[in-house]
Chains A and B, each alone.
Chain A
Amino acid sequence: MTNAGYIAAGYGITAVALISYVWRVLARGRRITAHVPEERRRWM
C-alpha cells in the first residue's frame, strides 16, 4: 500500500479523537445523572 503512513495517521487520529470524545461524553453523562432527581430524567 502506498502512503500507508499518512493513511494510518489519518484513520488513527480520527479513531483516537472520536473514541476519546465518546468516552468523555458517556462517562460524564453517567456521573452527572446521579445528581439529577429521577423525575427530571426521562428519555424517550
Chain B
Amino acid sequence: MTTTVQPAATAPRATRSAAPTSTGSRFTRVLGVVALAMLCLQLALALVISPPDVLQGDAVRLFYLHVPMAITGGYLGVGLLAIGSIGYLWKRTAFWDLLAASAAELALLFTGLTLVTGSLWGRPVWGTYWEWDPRLTLTAVLFLLLIGYRAMRSATLDPHLRARRSAVIGLLAAADVPLIRLSVDWWRGLHQTATINPLDTALDGLMLFTFFFSMVTFAVIFVWLLVHRFRLAWLDEQVAAHSLEDAIAERRAEAEAAGSPGPTGSAGATGSAGASAASGPGSAVATAPAAGTTHDGGAS
C-alpha cells in the first residue's frame, strides 16, 4: 500500500523543482515587483508631486529621468563593463566575458536614452537639442564605443578572440567615463557642472528626495535587467556549446557507420571555427559555462 502511494506523492514535487523555463527566478520576480512599484512612485514624484523649478519650470521633470539614466548607464553599466573586462583578461573565464557583454548592452541602452532625454531637456532649457559641448561630445563618443563593442562581438566568431577584443574595447569605453565626469570642470561648455554637490546642494527637500529616489529606482531596474540579460547570454553559450557537441557526435556516428577508423579529424573539420575554438585556446570561453556554479552564482 505504501509503495504505491509514495511515488504519487513525490511526483508533483519533482515536477515543481524542474529546471526553469525562462530567465526568471524567484529572486528576479521579487526584484521585478519591487522595481515596478518603485517606478510607479518615481513617476508620481517626478511628474506630479515634486514642485516645478523656479528657473526651468516643469522642464526640471526631465532632470529626474536624464541624470539617473546617465549615472546608471555611465557609472554602473560601464563600471561593470570595466570590471568584467579586467576580470576576463585576468581569469580568462566566460563568466567575466558574459558579465561585461551584458553590462555593455545595458550601458548602450541607458547611454542612448541619456542622449535622447538630454536633447529633449536641452531644447527648452538651452534653446538647442544639441551642442558640440565637451560633455555631450564625450557622451556621444561613449555611445559610439559601445556600439562598436557590440558590433565587434557580432562580427567575431572565435569566442576567445571575441572576448579578448571585447575586453580591450570595454576598457577603452570605460576610460571615457572619467573624461565625461571631469569635462565640465576642465573645459568651458554649455553643460552645467555637477548638479548635486553633497556639501552644497541647491535642491530643496522634495526635489532632492525625488532625485535620489529616481537614482535608486533606475539602479534597481538596471540590476533586474542585468540579471536577465546575463542569464540570456549564459543560455546562448549553452546552446552554442550543446549544438557543437551534437555536431561532433553526429559526425562521429557518421564516421562509425561508414567504417572509417577515426572520427576525430572529420569532427574537427565539420565543427569549423566553433569546433576548433572549443578544443583550442578558445575553450575557456566555449566550455567554461559548464562550470555552472560560477555562472549561476554570479548571475544571482
Give the complex CA separation of A39 and B286 in angstroms: 17
A26 touches B242 (CB 8 A): no
In the complex, which residues 92-126 of chain B have their Cβ closer than 8 Å to any Cβ of chain A? 109, 112-113, 116-117, 120-121, 123-124
Give the complex CA separation of A25 and B239 in angstroms: 16
The size class of the interface chain B forms with chain A is: 35 or more
B61: Cβ under 8 A from any A Cβ? yes
Question: Which residues of the other chain, B, contact A9 by a CB distance below 8 angstroms?
Answer: 120
Main secondary structure, interface of B, reads helix
Give the complex CA separation of A32 and B124 in angstroms: 45
The size class of the interface chain A forms with chain B is: 20 to 34
Main secondary structure, interface of A, reads helix
B236: Cβ under 8 A from any A Cβ? yes
Contact with A along B21-63 (1 / 0, CB 8 A): 1111101100000000000000100010000100001110110
Contacts A33-B23, A35-B242 hold; do A44 and B297 have CB atoms under 8 A apart?
yes
Kindly name the residue among A2, A7, A34 whose own CB sees the greatest number of chain B CB atoms within 10 A: A7
Kindly name the residue among B19, B116, B296 whose own CB sees the greatest number of chain A CB atoms within 10 A: B19
A29 to chain B, nearest CB (A): 3
Contacts A14-B117, A38-B18, A43-B300 hold; do A6 and B124 have CB atoms under 8 A apart?
yes
A2 to chain B, nearest CB (A): 4
Please give me the residue from chain B that is nearest to A11 by CB atom: B65
Using CB atoms and an 8 Å cutoff, list the residues of chain A in contact with chain B. Answer: 1-4, 6-7, 9-11, 13-14, 17-18, 21-22, 25-26, 28-30, 32-44
Told that A13-B116, A13-B120, A14-B69 touch, could you supply 11 new A-B pairs with CB distance under 8 A? A3-B57, A3-B58, A9-B120, A10-B120, A13-B117, A18-B109, A21-B109, A32-B239, A33-B23, A33-B235, A41-B235
